[in-house]
């Protein structure tokens, strides 16, 4: 995948892809992926918005989003953006709010193309931390833990 910018963030290496001026993809990358300076003013703006989030996690990145997904996924992603920093919601609670099932919410979270901008890390199971980005163990789950910790949430 070709990224418009690849940079190191407090939780690891991230890659950004844009569609025009809008954020299309934000991906957690392996450190073997080479850093890449922003290829355009729009990429520089998106980079700054994501970096600002790490300085002030109470504010979602101020960047236009180009979300590709089903109507249901977009509905879940919009609801995720309403969960305040420093708070978590369970899959079941979010499902009840959207009048759907917890597993469907989890699947929409797994398909989230722009974590941080759509803060799926703020959704957890009834007990524990749960998975992140389709993984239930490993580096990505540790990133979820670190993102929540930056917002003042500790889950064991």
Catalytic residue among 6, 42, 120, 147: 120
Whether residue 22 contacts residue 66, with contact meaning beta carbons closer than 8 Å, is answered with yes
Helix (H) or strand (E) holding 142: helix 139-150
Residue whose entry in the numeric block shows the structure tokens 């919009």? 78
CA distances 146 to 10, 58, 61, 139, Å, are 9, 15, 17, 10
Tokens of 151: 């917002």
120 tagged catalytic: yes
Q: So which residues are the catalytic ones?
A: 120
């Amino acid at each position: 995948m070709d990224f418009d910018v690849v940079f190191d963030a407090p939780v690891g290496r991230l890659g950004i892809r844009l569609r025009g001026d809008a954020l299309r993809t934000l991906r957690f990358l392996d450190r073997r992926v080479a850093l890449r300076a922003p290829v355009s003013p729009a990429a520089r703006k998106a980079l700054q918005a994501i970096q600002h989030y790490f300085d002030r996690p109470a504010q979602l990145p101020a960047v236009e989003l180009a979300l590709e997904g089903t109507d249901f996924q977009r509905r879940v992603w919009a609801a995720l953006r309403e969960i305040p920093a420093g708070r978590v919601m369970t899959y079941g609670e979010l499902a009840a709010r959207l009048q759907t099932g917890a597993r469907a919410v989890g699947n929409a979270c797994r398909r989230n193309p722009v974590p941080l901008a759509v803060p799926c890390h703020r959704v957890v199971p009834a007990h524990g931390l749960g998975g992140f980005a389709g993984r239930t163990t490993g580096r990505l789950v540790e990133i979820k833990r670190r993102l929540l910790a930056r917002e003042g949430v500790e889950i064991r």
